Structure 1
């Protein structure tokens, strides 16, 4: 799969949800125009590695039909074994150079917050994007600090990689992010809990387009 600059709507999939329903929601979301998918490293107790690989294979097959890259959260060895397109880290790994070498050709992303030094250090890993967590309060990102807009602006001064924003973002509050230079939004419940995931993705895409115009 050709790796393009990541942008748009980034869906984070929680594999602790019911798999048949989750895969149905994912398919509908893909129909709405997703840009990127990440599988959260959040599994039900007792799930074997083979079951994880089978599930990731299902996700990758569906996303592949739409040319959408799939990233694994944290477990880079599992991402490599499953043949996914990359990995997303919540923290910069202790040995970023070795991981970058092991994941040659893969996309790597890192979650950041108000610490600009962390953004600068992410460059040591040669990240392909950064994701700010969280711009608004959200139950799904309860461990994240609220990010100050001035730090999102400052990030563009130290990196030119794509910037995603996450945490409590809805199509209706995206206008509050006007004036910030970012490439997309990362979403969980705003899509997975929607009655129509395709329509939800389209709504996010429309709101993003309005900000760019």
Structure 2
């Protein structure tokens, strides 16, 4: 199985202390942990990233660590990647910063329409996240975009596409059948008292799907 599981942090949707929950998710098989702190000061996010990196290393866990929006923190902590949102720096600017800093992290970005996805690839994104695929607590007032839209984007791009939004062990097989490179989740893992078990269950469902991504992540 070449599809990957991303777990995105949300301090408002977790049952355990956040770093503990993320480490447990990594123990359960999460491939990428993304720290997303939209309102926290840089120093707080920096400290959180360092704590997570230390705990992962101490436990011998191979999960890669990304940060949402904060390219400065990604470079300062030598993270595996940065994920850009609509209000983040442009992809081209982050690529330039990456080169000047001699940093080798990957650059991803969120997209919601096929035109955005195609433009992101042209601008130099290493991957995109598309959603929300199904109804999601994160966007309760916006209709889901569905599997057909996801498949169109997968077919249009030559970089990895990660699906997000309302995905869990019951529907992940249908998502992976589109040829996407993996999934990203929040509540399916963090909004439980057993993030490790939830991650293991989701990874097992992904394995049963026996999917073959168009582009491995």
TM-score band (shorter)? 0.7 to 0.9
Distance 1:58 1:26, change over 3 A: same
Once residues 203 and 109 of structure 2 are traced to their aligned partners in structure 1, the CA distance between those partners, rounded to angstroms, is 23
Q: Which TM-score applies when normalising by structure 2?
A: 0.82
1:155-189: CA deviations, max 9, x gaps?
A: 23321222211111110222443631112111111
Q: Provide, for residues 132-153 of structure 1, a one-character-per-residue CA deviation record: whole Å limited to 9, x for no partner.
A: 1111111123476522322222
SS in 2 for 1:53: helix
SS of residue in 2 equivalent to 1:29: helix
How big is the alpha-carbon RMSD for the aligned residues of Structure 1 and Structure 2? 2.6
User: For the residues of structure 1 that align with 2:13 and 2:136, how far apart are their CA atoms?
Assistant: 18
Query: Highest relative contact order (Cα 8 Å, sep 6+), 1 or 2?
Result: 2
- 1:100 is aligned, of 87, 95, 98, to 95
Structure 1 residues 130 and 168, CA, compared in 2 at 3 Å: closer, same or farther? same
Please identify, of 175-184 and 201-210, the stretch whose mean Cα deviation from structure 2 is larger: 175-184
> How many residues are treated as equivalent by the alignment?
204
**Residue 111 of structure 2 corresponds to which residue in structure 1?**
112
Structure 2 gaps, min length 5: 212-217
Determine if the alignment matches structure 1 residue 82 to structure 2 residue 77.
yes
TM-score normalised by L of structure 1? 0.83
| Matched-pair contact (CA < 8 Å) for 2:133–2:150 | no
